[in-house]
């Protein structure tokens, strides 16, 4: 039953519309290309996961024989036996001091960007540029600079110098993540407080910071995890210390720490020293990965709280 | 509520108001002070590097950049070897990490089924969180022998006529190994940023392309990639910055390089690795200033890549805190 | 003459089923009563069936969006799908070229036969479906390329590389855009006005010479002048293509359509969209059979 209107004839080169809707000829080729691309992309993704798996698995399997509670809680005795307690304590202490320096400065910087610098103000854009530049600094440069400022002057490496170096590494990360979180606080909260005549600082302390607290904490955890693994600054600021003793005074003394422990033990010929290095690597890696996972979960929860 | 309003607004002289204003001023001072501190830190970093390098700059001038002899006990210093090594390792890392990273980004953003996406995405990001000392340690013990025993001979067999792929070394400590280790560190950065970018392409654009009878790859090639091109470029530059500045992992696998070789399988040096390696044990008076001079070069490169990445990314809201 | 066959009765589970309209036949007796000016005075003669929709239902997860829909769409006619917002018009039209496949939880029941082939058949290739059934969307969505490349993109993918210039010109002419852009084909498509962009989208859809053009509220984002130009296109385009147009604007349907399908959301049936009535334009607007149709077209609701 065909129509009897004068419909212009379809170009005979084009496919007949009433042919079945299956892939034919050129489309089969195009489909094959598309499928090949998808497959390659999937391979790339699984390659990345494989590398991660190999790395983690290597660390675990090589560290296995030395892992135990005493490994974590006893000090080393010589280079190839004993635990890593002093290094663990040292890293915790150095990173904690770095956080005490970097967190307030970073959060206040983030506050400045959201509360006082307008969206397109010159000071805001300049500060963001500075933070980006700080974030892109090679960490070895941060190390040598703090060396010049502290170690060269006091003629000794110290845990405190290391903390200062790490705080410089942490600062831009905390500032940016705080700023992102603070931006998410609904403008309506600020408006409500303003309309009540509440002064700005009360609003910040009483409303904005508490609302953003979860997200800021997440950013802090991620920055701390990052700082815990930073080795380059430590190499020039805190690599000279008694490896067998606990040292908790960061001022004027080198404090044992895990990254340097791994670095110096990793190319020793003794197999037991190597295993200890793997053990230390395992502890460090586990702590960092757990912190990352925890931060991710916290982030999802706090985002939901603020949006919902 | 109205009583409250009255109390807070009544006249400029009420106690509550004055306390409010003082408090506001203190807050502003604290915040602005923090911002100022950040600026001062950056300034101090630049100043320290320049002043630390000054003795070497005045001794060697710009010729430092092209001299390749680095012999600290003879006070012979030249940056060329480190520059070449930095360039080569970064090129290796980026040539592999960029296409792979973009492919992973495309896969995660447009192809992976939702359960795969939620698992593989975070796993790729975790790769970026591994401290460089651990990656370097693994590179030292596990990866270098693998490179020396499998990758280098294979490359030599296939491409040995090119001087780049000379005879394999026994240790596997080479520019190639360093480049490959850097690839592992740069890949997740590019992959995660690319994925985020591809997810920002508006659905209507993708649907419009699909409605025109295009296969998935044609949509990616014709719409997704062109739209995000400058953002992906910025992500690549950020990855480059990471590769350039990495000292520790490179230090552990790049070997003890002397001189510039034509083969990738020979040991070498990079700017960051050399600084890290020799800073604590200087061998002559000009050693540390020369290292600062290297640091100055590295600093300039690092700042330029950061600025470049920002310029490229200004059209996109690439906000991401990668651990 | 087309006999709308109203069947309201009870469904298999005993519930009251509303508004199932089935068009009886497409073959005609010898002496049809000529219908007025809508198709230029020509008698409405037998035509090819392009879409034979049978008991079509759409679900998103557990929610049913569209209820049992059965009717036929004819070749070289403009078929308008009208109804209040949310009644499933977009869902319906997007199902015709499988644009809903990407939506999570999408499930379709019943059959959509395109020239006798099930659009959702096992061997069917989505890309081939869209090759023959093109779509223009509510908001103009030109590719971020030049005007020329927007039109040429799909033909290039399809391997139509000879006479690309001629093809582009033809498409733009059919879309009544050629004169306005012929001197600036290399300019970005985003530099065009809204109405021009939409005509560009129409042009690029017809550049590959599909069989069917689906238009999902093509003028709703446009001003009246641009809208008028789009509507004028319908009259010429239907000579080459079969057109299905979704519109919430009744006057627009009255102006451009040959056949009209009226959908509505029946509150009693859990917000499921259903086809209420399907007939030629005159009948729907002058002489609707269903009270809901009458209420809608006379503006008593929605």
pLDDT in tens, C205-251: 999 989 999 999 998 888 888 888 888 888 889 888 999 999 988 88
Q: In Å, how far are B113, B249, C72, C108, C120 from C53, measured between CA atoms?
A: 31, 64, 6, 12, 12
Query: Which chains reach chain B with 3 or more Cβ–Cβ distances below 8 angstroms?
Result: A, C
Ordered DSSP codes for C97-165? TTTTTTSTTEEEEEEEEETTEETT-TT--HHHHHHHEEEE-SS----SSBHHHHHHHHHHHTT--TTHH
Dist. CA B232–CA B239, nearest whole Å: 10
Q: Is C289 in CB contact (< 8 Å) with chain A?
A: no
Q: Which is more confidently placed, A99 or C294? A: A99
Task: Search chain C and give the residue with CA nearest A29.
Answer: C158
Task: Search chain B and give the residue with CA nearest A168.
Answer: B41
**B121 vs chain C: nearest CA distance in angstroms?**
20
Q: Please, are residues C225 and C180 in contact by the beta-carbon 8 Å criterion?
A: no
pLDDT in tens, C108-129: 999 999 988 999 988 899 999 9
Q: Which is more confidently placed, A17 or A197? A: A197
Q: In Å, how far are A86, A264, B69, B252, B269 from B90, measured between CA atoms?
A: 36, 25, 22, 16, 12
Task: Quickly state the pLDDT bin for C3 (edges 50, 70, 90).
Answer: very low
Q: Please, are residues C208 and C154 in contact by the beta-carbon 8 Å criterion?
A: yes
- Residue A190's closest CA among A206, A173, A176? A206
Token match 């985020």: residue?
Answer: B196
Q: Please, are residues B17 and B8 in contact by the beta-carbon 8 Å criterion?
A: yes
CB burial of A25-51 (b: ≥16 within 10 Å; e: otherwise) equals eebeebbeebeebbeebbebbbebbeb
Token match 């296409």: residue?
Answer: B99
Q: In Å, how far are C216, C252, C264 from C297, measured between CA atoms?
A: 20, 12, 12
At C74 the three-state DSSP class reads strand
At A293 the three-state DSSP class reads helix
Q: Which residues of B touch A225 (CB under 8 A)?
A: 129, 323
**C253 vs chain A: nearest CA distance in angstroms?**
23
Burial class (CB in 10 A: 0-12, 13-18, 19+), B1: exposed
What secondary structure, in 3-state letters, does B46-114 show? HHHHHHHHHHHHHHHHHHHHCCCCCEHHHCECCCHHHHHHHHHHHHHHHHHHHHHHHHHHHHHHHHCCH
Taking 70 as the threshold, does the pLDDT of residue A159 lie above it?
A: yes
Please list the alpha-helical segments (H only) found in chain C.
89-96, 126-132, 147-157, 164-174, 178-181, 194-207, 224-237, 250-256, 281-286, 291-297
C260 - beta bridge partners? C80, C279
Q: Please, are residues C126 and C132 in contact by the beta-carbon 8 Å criterion?
A: no
Dist. CA B273–CA B288, nearest whole Å: 14
Task: Quickly state the pLDDT bin for C80 (edges 50, 70, 90).
Answer: very high
Task: Quickly state the pLDDT bin for C22 (edges 50, 70, 90).
Answer: very low
Residue B139: which residues within 8 A CB-CB, separation 6 or more?
Answer: B177, B181, B249, B252, B253
Burial class (CB in 10 A: 0-12, 13-18, 19+), A8: exposed
Q: How many residues does chain A have?
A: 308
Portion 194-253 of A in contact with B at CB < 8 A:
196-202, 204, 219, 222, 225-226, 228-232, 235-236, 239-240
Q: Is B229 in CB contact (< 8 Å) with chain C?
A: no
- Residue B136's closest CA among A186, A300, A267? A267
Token match 């170009």: residue?
Answer: A11
CB count, 10 Å around CB of B298? 28
CB burial of A107-118 (b: ≥16 within 10 Å; e: otherwise) equals bbbbbbbbbbbe
Ordered DSSP codes for B154-210? HHHHHHTTSGGG-PPPSS--SHHHHHHHHHHHHHHHHHHHHHHHHHTS-HHHHHHHH
pLDDT in tens, A111-131: 999 988 877 788 889 999 999
CB count, 10 Å around CB of A197? 16
Dist. CA C262–CA C296, nearest whole Å: 9
Q: Please, are residues A275 and A62 in contact by the beta-carbon 8 Å criterion?
A: yes
Please list the alpha-helical segments (H only) found in B107-151.
114-129, 132-138, 144-146
- Where do the structural domains in chain A lie, given as residue ranges? 81-307
Taking 90 as the threshold, does the pLDDT of residue C93 lie above it?
A: yes
Token match 């059965």: residue?
Answer: C70
At A45 the three-state DSSP class reads helix
Per-residue confidence (pLDDT) for residue C301, from 0 to 100: 53
Dist. CA B267–CA B261, nearest whole Å: 8
Contacts for C25-30: CB closer than 8 Å, 24+ residues apart:
C26/A1, C26/C2, C26/C72, C26/C74, C27/A1, C28/C1, C29/C1
Q: How many residues does chain C have?
A: 302
- Residue C262's closest CA among C25, C19, C35, C54? C19
Token match 């796993």: residue?
Answer: B123
Q: Which is more confidently placed, A228 or C2? A: A228
pLDDT in tens, A263-299: 998 878 888 889 999 999 999 999 999 999 999 888 8
Residue A244: which residues within 8 A CB-CB, separation 6 or more?
Answer: A75, A76, A77, A78, A82, A86
Taking 50 as the threshold, does the pLDDT of residue A142 lie above it?
A: yes
Per-residue confidence (pLDDT) for residue C35, from 0 to 100: 33
pLDDT in tens, A39-90: 999 999 999 999 999 999 999 999 998 888 888 888 888 777 888 899 999 9
Task: Quickly state the pLDDT bin for A15 (edges 50, 70, 90).
Answer: low
Enter the tokens of residue B71: 């012999």
Q: Is C38 in CB contact (< 8 Å) with chain A?
A: no
Task: Search chain A and give the residue with CA nearest C27.
Answer: A1
Q: Is B214 in CB contact (< 8 Å) with chain C?
A: yes
Q: Please, are residues A133 and A204 in contact by the beta-carbon 8 Å criterion?
A: no
Of C132, C158, C159, the CB nearest to A17: C132
Q: Is C62 in CB contact (< 8 Å) with chain A?
A: no
Per-residue confidence (pLDDT) for residue A136, from 0 to 100: 93
Q: Which of C211, C213, C237 to mutate to test the interface with A (most CBs of A within 10 A)?
A: C211
Residue B3: which residues within 8 A CB-CB, separation 6 or more?
Answer: none
Of B125, B133, B298, the CB nearest to A141: B298
Dist. CA C204–CA C268, nearest whole Å: 42
pLDDT in tens, B147-175: 888 888 888 888 878 877 877 677 788 89
Enter the tokens of residue A65: 């024989």
Taking 80 as the threshold, does the pLDDT of residue A4 lie above it?
A: no
Query: Which chains reach chain A with 3 or more Cβ–Cβ distances below 8 angstroms?
Result: B, C
Taking 70 as the threshold, does the pLDDT of residue A248 lie above it?
A: yes
Tell me which DSSP letter residue B315 carries.
T
Q: How far is CA A23 from the centre of its chain?
A: 47
How does strand C78-82 pair with strand C259-266? parallel
CB contact under 8 A, B305 and A289: no
Burial class (CB in 10 A: 0-12, 13-18, 19+), A269: exposed
Dist. CA B40–CA B30, nearest whole Å: 15
CB burial of B62-72 (b: ≥16 within 10 Å; e: otherwise) equals eebeeeeebeb
CB contact under 8 A, B38 and A288: no
First to last CA, chain A: 59
Portion 96-115 of C in contact with A at CB < 8 A:
114-115
**C197 vs chain B: nearest CA distance in angstroms?**
13
Q: Which of C47, C51, C78, C128 to mutate to test the interface with A (most CBs of A within 10 A)?
A: C128
Fold of A81-307: MetI-like fold (1.10.3720)
Token match 């500045």: residue?
Answer: B245
Specify the DSSP element, H or E, that contains C52: strand C49-60
Per-residue confidence (pLDDT) for residue B136, from 0 to 100: 94
C106-114 β-sheet, strand order: C117-118, C106-114, C49-60, C63-74, C272-280, C259-266, C78-82, C242-246, C212-216, C133-136
Low-confidence stretches of chain B (pLDDT beneath 70): 1-19, 168, 315-323
Taking 90 as the threshold, does the pLDDT of residue C10 lie above it?
A: no
Q: Please, are residues B216 and B224 in contact by the beta-carbon 8 Å criterion?
A: no
Query: Which segment of A195-199, B243-247, C101-105, C284-288 scores lowest on mean pLDDT?
Result: A195-199
**C229 vs chain B: nearest CA distance in angstroms?**
21
Of A3, A20, A27, the CB nearest to C76: A3
Q: Which domains does chain C have, with CATH numbers?
A: 4-297 (3.40.50.300)
Dist. CA C244–CA C53, nearest whole Å: 13
Q: Please, are residues C150 and C131 in contact by the beta-carbon 8 Å criterion?
A: no
């Amino acid at each position: 039953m065909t129509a009897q209107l004068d419909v212009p004839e379809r170009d005979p080169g084009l496919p007949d519309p009433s042919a079945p809707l299956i892939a034919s000829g050129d489309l089969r080729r195009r489909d094959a290309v598309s499928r090949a691309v998808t497959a390659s992309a999937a391979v790339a993704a699984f390659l990345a996961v494989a590398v991660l798996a190999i790395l983690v698995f290597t660390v675990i399997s090589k560290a296995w024989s030395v892992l135990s509670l005493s490994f974590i809680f006893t000090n080393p005795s010589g280079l190839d036996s004993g635990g890593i307690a002093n290094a663990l304590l040292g890293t915790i202490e150095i990173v904690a001091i770095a956080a005490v320096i970097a967190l307030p400065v970073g959060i206040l910087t983030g506050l400045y960007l959201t509360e006082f610098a307008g969206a397109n103000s010159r000071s805001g854009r300049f500060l963001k540029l500075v933070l980006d530049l700080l974030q892109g600094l090679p960490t070895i440069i941060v190390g040598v600079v703090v060396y010049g400022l502290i170690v060269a002057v006091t003629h000794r490496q110290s845990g405190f110098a290391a903390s200062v170096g790490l705080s410089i590494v942490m600062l831009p990360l905390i500032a940016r993540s705080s700023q992102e979180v603070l931006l998410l606080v609904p403008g309506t909260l600020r408006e409500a407080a303003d309309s009540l005549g509440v002064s700005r600082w009360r609003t910040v302390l009483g409303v904005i910071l508490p609302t953003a607290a979860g997200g800021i904490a997440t950013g802090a955890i991620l920055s701390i995890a990052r700082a815990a693994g930073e080795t380059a600054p430590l190499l020039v600021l805190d690599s000279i210390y008694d490896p067998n003793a606990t040292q908790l005074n960061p001022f004027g003394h080198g404090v044992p720490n895990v990254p340097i422990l791994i670095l110096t033990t990793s190319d020793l010929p003794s197999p037991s020293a190597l295993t200890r290095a793997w053990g230390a690597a395992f502890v460090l890696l586990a702590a960092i990965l757990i912190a990352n996972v925890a931060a991710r979960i916290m982030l999802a929860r706090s985002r939901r709280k603020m949006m919902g | 509520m109205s009583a409250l309003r009255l109390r807070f607004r009544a006249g400029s002289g009420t106690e509550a108001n004055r306390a409010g204003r003082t408090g506001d001023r203190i807050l502003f001072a604290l915040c602005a002070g923090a911002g100022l501190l950040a600026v001062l830190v950056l300034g101090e970093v630049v100043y320290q590097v320049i002043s630390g390098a000054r003795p070497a700059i005045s001794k060697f001038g710009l010729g430092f950049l092209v001299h390749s002899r680095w012999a600290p006990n003879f006070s012979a210093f030249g940056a060329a070897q480190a520059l070449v090594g930095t360039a080569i390792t970064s090129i290796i890392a980026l040539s592999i990490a960029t296409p792979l990273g973009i492919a992973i980004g495309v896969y995660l953003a447009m192809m992976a089924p939702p359960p795969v996406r939620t698992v593989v995405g975070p796993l790729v990001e975790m790769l970026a969180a591994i401290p460089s000392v651990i990656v370097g340690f693994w590179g030292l013990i596990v990866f270098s022998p693998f490179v020396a025993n499998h990758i280098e001979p294979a490359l030599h067999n296939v491409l040995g006529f090119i001087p780049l792929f000379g005879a394999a070394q026994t240790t596997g400590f080479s520019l190639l190994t360093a480049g490959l280790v850097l690839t592992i560190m740069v890949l997740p950065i590019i992959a995660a940023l690319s994925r985020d970018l591809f997810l920002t392409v508006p659905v209507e654009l993708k649907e419009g392309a699909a409605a025109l009878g295009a296969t998935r790859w044609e949509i990616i090639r014709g719409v997704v990639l062109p739209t995000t091109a400058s953002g992906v470029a910025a992500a690549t530059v950020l990855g480059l910055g990471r590769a350039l500045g990495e000292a520790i992992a490179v230090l552990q696998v790049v070997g003890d390089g002397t001189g510039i070789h034509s083969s990738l399988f020979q040991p070498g040096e990079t700017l960051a690795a050399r600084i890290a390696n020799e800073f604590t044990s200087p061998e002559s008076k000009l050693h540390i200033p020369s290292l600062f001079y290297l640091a100055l070069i590295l600093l300039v490169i690092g700042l330029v890549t950061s600025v470049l990445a920002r310029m490229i990314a200004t059209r996109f809201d690439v906000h991401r805190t990668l651990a | 003459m087309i006999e709308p066959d109203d069947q309201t009765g009870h469904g298999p589970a005993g519930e009251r089923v509303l508004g199932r309209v089935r068009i009886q036949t497409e073959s005609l007796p010898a002496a049809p009563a000529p219908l007025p000016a809508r198709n230029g005075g020509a008698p409405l003669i037998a035509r090819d069936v392009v879409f034979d929709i049978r008991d079509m239902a759409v679900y998103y997860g557990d929610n049913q969006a569209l209820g049992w829909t059965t009717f036929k769409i004819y070749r070289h006619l403009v078929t308008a799908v009208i109804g209040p917002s949310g009644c499933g018009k977009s869902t319906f039209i997007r199902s015709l070229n499988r644009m809903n496949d990407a939506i999570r939880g999408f499930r379709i029941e019943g059959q959509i036969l395109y020239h006798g082939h099930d659009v959702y058949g096992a061997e069917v290739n989505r890309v081939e479906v869209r090759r023959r059934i093109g779509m223009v969307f509510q908001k103009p969505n030109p590719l971020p390329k030049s005007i020329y490349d927007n039109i040429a993109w799909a033909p290039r993918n399809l391997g139509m590389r000879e006479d690309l210039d001629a093809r582009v010109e033809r498409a733009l002419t059919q879309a009544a855009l050629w004169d306005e852009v012929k001197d600036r084909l290399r300019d970005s498509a985003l530099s065009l006005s809204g109405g021009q962009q939409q005509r560009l989208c129409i042009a690029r859809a017809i550049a590959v010479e599909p069989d069917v053009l689906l238009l999902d509220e093509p003028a709703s984002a446009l001003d009246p002048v641009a809208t008028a130009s789009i509507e004028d296109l319908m009259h010429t385009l239907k000579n080459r293509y079969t057109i299905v147009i979704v519109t919430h604007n009744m006057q627009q349907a009255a102006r451009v359509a040959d056949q009209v399908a009226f959908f509505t959301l029946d509150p009693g049936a859990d917000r499921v969209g259903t086809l209420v009535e399907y007939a030629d334009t005159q009948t729907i607007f002058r002489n609707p059979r269903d009270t809901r149709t009458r209420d809608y077209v006379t503006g008593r609701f929605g």
